[in-house]
Amino acid sequence: MAAVPSHPNEDGTWTRLEGVDGVALWQRERTTFAPITMYYVIAPPRQTEILYDPVKARDRYEGLTTAR
Among the listed ranges 5-9, 28-32, 52-56, 63-67, which one has the minimum average pLDDT value? 5-9
Cβ–Cβ < 8 Å for 26, 10? no
How confident is the model over 6-36, as pLDDT tens digits?
A: 877 888 889 999 998 889 999 999 887 888 9
Whole-angstrom Cα distance, residue 28 to residue 67?
Answer: 25
Whole-angstrom Cα distance, residue 55 to residue 68?
Answer: 21
Tell me, what's the pLDDT at 60? 93
Judging by beta carbons within 10 Å of its beta carbon (0-12, 13-18, 19+), is residue 38 exposed, middle or buried?
Answer: middle
What are the residue ranges spanned by the domains of the chain?
A: 13-66
Residue 1 has pLDDT above 80, yes or no: no
Mean pLDDT of the chain: 86
